[in-house]
Amino acid sequence: MIIELGHYCLALVLTISLFQFLVPALGVRYNSIGLMSTSYITAYLSFILVCFSFASLTYAYVISDFSVSLVANNSHSLKPMIYKISGVWGNHEGSLLLWVLILTFYSAAVAFLGKRLPVKLISLVLSCQGLIAASFVSFILFTSNPFTRLFFPEIEGEGFNPILQDFGLAIHPPFLYLGYVGLSVTFSFSIAALLIGRVDTIWVKWVRPWTLIAWVFLTIGIALGSWWAYRELGWGGWWFWDPVENASFMPWLAATALLHSSIVAEKRDTLKAWTILLAIIAFSLSLLGTFIVRSGVLISVHAFASDPSRGLYILMLLIFFTGGALALFARKAASLKSGSLFQPVSREGALVINNIIFASSAATVLLGTLYPIFIDAINNSKVSVGPPYFEAVFIPLMVPAILLCAFSPMLSWKRAKLENILERVIAVFILAIMITAIFIFIYGGSISAFLGLFLGLWLILGTIYEFFIKVGIKLSFTKFLLRAFQLPRSAYGMSLAHLGVAIFVIGVTVSSAWRIDIEKPIQNGESVVINDIELIFLGIIDVNGPNWIAERGKFEVIRRGKNNEYLFPERRFYPASKVNTSEPAIMSNAFFDLYVVLGENLNNDESYSLRVYYSPFINWIWFGIMCMALGGILAVTDRKHRLGYSVKKNPKAIYK
Amino acid sequence: MRIIILNFLYIFFTISLVYAQENLKVNNIEAKELYEELRCLVCQNQSLLDSDAPLALDLKKLVLYKLEQGLSKEEIKEFLVERYGEFILLKPTFTIKNILLWVAPFIFVLFGFFLTFLFLRKTPVSKEEVFTLTEAEKEKLKKVLNKDIIE
């Protein structure tokens, strides 16, 4: 019964979303405040109904109701509770319902926080959100209904992919979707601005925090995904340039560009048309990502159950929203007046270069990801575009971005003197080169290791230096602290995010340049030595888990002659899905990870195949990404970005 | 007699298997580089290095064998492409066919700079418009300044 109610609510949401799309738009057309104001109510109502619908599906998972086809196909009564719940979005239908839940959540949040915004603007925004919601709800109802019942209920579920039973992955989709769908808000704001035909301060002030929020969630979501891939896939890698990973990376690159261009739009009242275009592109790329993941047009390690007809529907949505938005942009963009002017050498100029680089990177990832499809369509031959390609083109693109990032915050707006800047950063440059050279002299390393380390240090030192300059040099200590305390949070946010990039770069460089791989058969009592670490194999025990059985190896780690830790890598077998998985054991600290994977029993004697990866500084990768996300959070909580702040008392008057 | 031969063959086979396993250690930098650039054809999307599939293990053995024979990386790649097609290469060849793929990133950047150039040229450059004085104004300024100094 609850399932049917949930199903019914979703059908109601379709009607309400269509209402939310049509009525406020008519209200704007005929200048009726009454019609426009319905948008608030419909936004709240859709959110509540989708909440109920989602809760009913979750309920079916929790009580393992195997008369629901989705639950029977994807769940199992023996699964731990947390994975039963995360199983709701661990499949195509449920994940789309989560998508819609988050979309209506954002619409409701815009309606709630936007009470003081001009009603015309907010109605158009919510109308656009309504159209997006209607298309996705109809997609769910007509092609991928999660509430379908089975005529003959199953006694036991079929379980789901055991490799997905991981805490990081359980919370990865919600974060990723909060990011993807968050970009729909900036998209709708852009459409509204184009329809109204003006981009003013209120618009920019509103778009920036939403971009930041979406960007922060997207960043965290991607980090969780790569963290999962690192711990679960068992190869010690953390990014595979897989189509599904690229699908989340493209919107991130576009959102990063948007984040920076919206600063220029906010502070200098220029690049507004470009900012709107980026907002459209960013959301289009997240729709494209949904298409790539859901249609199965590309070969991916993240093999989701996919269906071409569903892919076609999403492709049509993508063409409709992207094409429509771009057509609208082409018609109206010329009427958006650009504000103040700037010289090529200026803060604006630097941010423009940032935008060129990030937009080009997004385009490159897009090209590389779709290239195999093009080639297949053109001359029916198969090519692969894999990690070696992306690394070869992506690194040269990013190097100038990082070089620029260290000193562009020191440039003044409008026009800057290059000589002044060079004078300032030359010391930072020399210091970074010297430290890198000393490090490479001691530890050895290739040219790429030198370059990576130098870039990381250059960015760290540059960011710290910029922070000191911003607070004011030649101040007494107490005065310095006082002034540092008074800096706005967005200033801290920027510095922290840029430091995060530097930490990330160092993590990537060191972990790949000084990684040690060992692959060999091992017998009871034998050991492996890596640097100052000795890993001793102490045998195998059989273990029974809730829904798996495993061979668990015991390894003792001895570092500098002392026992540090025991590691227990496992080889699990899941009877429900008849799948073998490897659970790597990782000894992790700030400076290295020791990653141990237990392989198969060889030739039925006591020897097992063993893989060990020693990855120095690898945790700096995720620590750096978390610093970036934290920087974004600091910036979004800045006083000037608080939603509704600094809007005049009677904003309705503005558009009349 | 037959049984003895079969047994002998069996033992020989197992020993060679064990020997091959020993050799699978990724200790050869060239081999590792090749593994990273070759696709495991039966996997979803993994390189040879990241795969346990039987075909991947066989291909790894083949690569090692060819390296031991003294073939270069390029020769081994050519050998594999002849048999499996370009699909096996994770890094597309740098040929005229794939030229779009390789030059596009740089075209994107150049195009970006070109657009910026147009944008900056279209809008009058502030330096000349706002900050430069005409000759007459300069004269006037000189007068005013001189006056100040004299007074």
pLDDT digits (tens, 9 = 90+) for A359-377: 999 999 999 999 988 888 8
Residues of B in contact with A413 (CB under 8 A): none
Stretch (H or E) spanning A100: helix A92-113
Range picked from A179-183, A234-238, A414-418 for highest mean pLDDT: A179-183
Helices first, then strands: H and E counts in chain B? 7, 0
Q: Residue B32: what pLDDT?
A: 84
Mean pLDDT of chain A: 88
Inter-chain CB proximity B45 and A352 less than 8 Å: no
Rounded to a whole number of angstroms, the distance from the CA of B97 to the nearest CA of chain A is: 10
Residues of A in contact with B46 (CB under 8 A): 240, 301
Establish whether this prediction's ipTM goes over 0.95. Answer: no
Least confident of A26-40, A384-398, A519-533: A519-533
Higher pLDDT, A549 or A645: A549
Inter-chain CB proximity B109 and A343 less than 8 Å: no
Mutate: best of A336, A356, A367, partner B, most B CBs <10 A: A356
Where exactly are the structural domains of chain A?
Answer: 1-165, 417-514+619-629, 521-616
Residues of A in contact with B33 (CB under 8 A): none
Say how far apart CA A101 and CA A99 lie, in whole Å. Answer: 5
pLDDT digits (tens, 9 = 90+) for B20-43: 444 444 447 788 888 888 998 887
What's the pLDDT band for A652 if we cut at 50, 70, 90?
Answer: very low
Say how far apart CA A96 and CA A102 lie, in whole Å. Answer: 10
C-beta contacts of A635-640 below 8 A and 24+ residues apart: A635/A212, A635/A489, A635/A490, A635/A493, A635/A494, A635/A497, A636/A209, A636/A212, A636/A213, A636/A216, A636/A493, A637/A489, A638/A488, A638/A489, A638/A490, A638/A493, A639/A488, A639/A489, A640/A205, A640/A488, A640/A490
Using CB atoms, pick whichever of B105, B113, B123 lies closest to residue A393.
B105
A500 vs A210, A265, A497, B1, CA distance in Å?
Answer: 21, 24, 5, 72
Rounded to a whole number of angstroms, the distance from the CA of A650 to the nearest CA of chain B is: 35
Say if residue A496's pLDDT is above 70: yes
Higher pLDDT, B126 or A391: A391
Q: Residue A303: what pLDDT?
A: 52
C-beta contacts of B71-76 below 8 A and 24+ residues apart: B73/B30, B73/B33, B73/B34, B76/B34
What's the pLDDT band for A431 if we cut at 50, 70, 90?
Answer: very high
Say if residue A347's pLDDT is above 50: yes
The nearest alpha carbon in chain B to A236 belongs to: B50
Using CB atoms, pick whichever of B17, B45, B109 lies closest to residue A300.
B45
Q: Residue A567: what pLDDT?
A: 93
Q: Residue A417: what pLDDT?
A: 80
The nearest alpha carbon in chain A to B37 belongs to: A388
Q: Residue A300: what pLDDT?
A: 65
Inter-chain CB proximity B102 and A393 less than 8 Å: yes
* Mean pLDDT across A222-251: 90
* Mean pLDDT across A260-279: 90
Inter-chain CB proximity A520 and B125 less than 8 Å: no
Inter-chain CB proximity A382 and B87 less than 8 Å: yes
Q: Residue A647: what pLDDT?
A: 45
Least confident of A196-200, A459-463, A614-618: A196-200
The nearest alpha carbon in chain A to B50 belongs to: A235
* Mean pLDDT across A442-455: 92
Q: Give the end-to-end CA distance of chain A in Å, rounded to a whole number.
A: 49
Tokens of residue A180, six digits: 């993807």
Inter-chain CB proximity A341 and B123 less than 8 Å: yes
Q: Residue B30: what pLDDT?
A: 82
**Percent of chain A scored above 70 by pLDDT?**
94
Residues from B in contact with A at Cβ < 8 Å: 14, 17-18, 21-22, 24-26, 32, 36-37, 39, 43-47, 49-50, 52, 85-92, 98, 100-102, 104-105, 108-109, 112-113, 116, 120, 123-127
Inter-chain CB proximity B89 and A360 less than 8 Å: no
Inter-chain CB proximity A356 and B26 less than 8 Å: no
Say if residue A117's pLDDT is above 60: yes
Which position has the token pair 């261009």?
A: A261
Using CB atoms, pick whichever of B46, B98, B102 lies closest to residue A301.
B46
Say if residue A279's pLDDT is above 90: yes
Using DSSP bridges, classify how beta strands A570-574 and A579-583 pair: parallel, antiparallel or unpaired: antiparallel
CA atoms within 13 A on the CB side of A30: 9
pLDDT digits (tens, 9 = 90+) for A137-148: 999 999 889 999
Least confident of A65-74, A412-421, A487-496: A412-421
Tokens of residue A241, six digits: 């340039």
Using CB atoms, pick whichever of A356, A367, A602 lies closest to residue B104.
A367
pLDDT digits (tens, 9 = 90+) for B44-82: 778 888 887 888 888 988 998 888 888 888 899 999 999
Say if residue B124's pLDDT is above 60: no
CB contacts < 8 A (A, B): 122
Inter-chain CB proximity B108 and A363 less than 8 Å: yes
* Mean pLDDT across A493-521: 93
